Amino acid sequence: MEFSAEQIAGILGGTVVGNASVTVSGLAKIEEGVPGALSFLSNPKYEEHIYVTDSSICIVNNTFQPTKPLPDTLTLVKVDDAYACFAKLLEVYSQMNKKKPAIEQPSYIASSAKLGENLYVGAFAYIGENAVIGDHVAIYPNAYIGENVVIGSNSVIHPGAAVYGDCKVGANCIVHAGVIIGADGFGFAPDEKGVFHKVPQIGNVIVEDDVEIGSNTTIDRATMGSTIIRQGAKIDNLCQIAHNVEVGNHSALAAQVGIAGSAKLGAHVMVGGQAGISGHLHIADGTKIVAQSGIPASVKKADTLMGSPGIPLEDFKKSYFGFRKLPFILNKIQELEKKIKELTKD
């Protein structure tokens, strides 16, 4: 589908500089631009590419002022925030390419399930007893929706994802391929002989509205009560969220984050890749945890933490500076010990 610069400016509330009737039918990074492509420039580090790009239209900030001649074939659309506006266009594009309503066969839908309007259910998908599926939901092939599950309107369940029984997924959520929502929490009790016995996990998982969950992430059901992912949270691929965890509103977890049982993360918490958070902790609103950090104790006040155990970032930098000097310090100590021995020989 083609869009003109004038149409794009209308969608974004921008201003056209150049040929308003030029059209694009695809997207490209500015350094990889081709005729008929739409690109954007927001990071000044990439400005050099705009003077040689072959893209037909480029979205730029209103503050952008060329320092060299632009290609004659390039039209600009000026907006307040080029990055945010490009993301908005990507969302429009994504919605236009959303699966059309259909129930593909073979698929299984229990007779007691309640289905909304305009659904897409892919081949080999399974929808269990008493499940409730909202309007405009897309459930891709080989997805599993267990008994009593609720899926809110406009949500997307990608191929091979599984939502176990009694769990709830809100509206406007995206659950990527291979995600497991509601598997048993890791609950075992050893007896007097040290033999582990399974503790039944009878709770569920509640995923609130506007959440996105990356591929192959696992979110365990609660032992009792609910594991909760609050509204607007964004979870990357390959994360492990244990039983009875709570992830706060609009928090973001990067890939391979692990959160142990019953930890509670506040709102707007950001956790870098491969960081680990111990169980039964509380992490204050607005806390930032640097990648590969380990958090063994509750965080009562928002801070940026790094290291294992995690400490305030500035303290970590000072400690690391000292750590890098350790070989020099050790050599100096050895030299001093040698001199002391020489001075005390007699």
Catalytic residue numbers read 243
Q: Which two tokens stand for residue 51?
A: 């003077």
Residue with tokens 């979205």, as numbered in its chain? 59
8 A C-beta contact, residue 189 and residue 196: yes
> What number of other Cβ atoms are within 10 A of residue 235's Cβ?
26
* Pure H helices in 97-164: none
Residue with tokens 């600009």, as numbered in its chain? 76
Using CA atoms of 96, 102, 106, 112 in order, give the dihedral in degrees to the nearest 10: 120
CB neighbour class for 37 (10 Å; exposed up to 12, middle 13-18, buried from 19): buried
d(CA 20, CA 22): 6
